[in-house]
A and B are shown apart, each in its own frame.
Chain A
Amino acid sequence: QKEVEQDPGPLSVPEGAIVSLNCTYSNSAFQYFMWYRQYSRKGPELLMYTYSSGNKEDGRFTAQVDKSSKYISLFIRDSQPSDSATYLCAMSATGANSKLTFGKGITLSVRP
Chain B
Amino acid sequence: GAVVSQHPSRVICKSGTSVKIECRSLDFQATTMFWYRQFPKQSLMLMATSNEGSKATYEQGVEKDKFLINHASLTLSTLTVTSAHPEDSSFYICSARAGIYSRQKLFFGSGTQLSVL
Residues of A in contact with B (beta carbons under 8 Å apart): 8, 32, 34, 36, 41-46, 49, 51, 88, 92, 96, 98-100, 102-105, 107
Other-chain residue from B6, B104, B110 in contact with A100 (beta carbon distance below 8 A):
B104
Rounded to whole angstroms, the CA-CA distance of A34 and B59 in the bound complex is 22
User: How far is A49 from B41 in the complex, measured between Cα atoms in Å?
Assistant: 23
CB contacts (< 8 Å) of A100 on chain B: these are 34, 46, 104, 106
Q: B113 near A: Cβ within 8 Å?
A: yes
Let me know if A46 and B107 touch, CB within 8 A: yes
With A42-B111, A43-B109, A45-B108 already in contact, the answer to whether A99 and B46 are too (CB < 8 A) is yes
Residues of A within 8 A of B14 (CB): none
Q: Does B79 contact A (CB under 8 A)?
A: no
- B107 in contact with A104 (CB, 8 Å): no
A92 to chain B: closest CB distance in Å? 5
Q: A98-B104, A102-B44 are in contact. List 19 more A-B contacts (CB 8 A).
A: A32-B102, A36-B108, A41-B91, A42-B111, A43-B6, A43-B108, A43-B110, A46-B1, A46-B107, A88-B44, A92-B104, A99-B49, A100-B34, A100-B46, A100-B104, A100-B106, A103-B43, A105-B41, A107-B41
Closest 8 CB pairs of A and B: A43-B108, A32-B104, A104-B43, A102-B43, A43-B111, A43-B110, A44-B108, A92-B104
Whether B20 sits at the interface, judged by CB under 8 Å, is no
A8: B residues at CB distance < 8 A: 41
Inside 8 A of A96's CB, which chain B residues have their CB?
A: 103
Given A32-B104, A98-B104, residue A44 in contact with residue B93 (CB < 8 A): yes
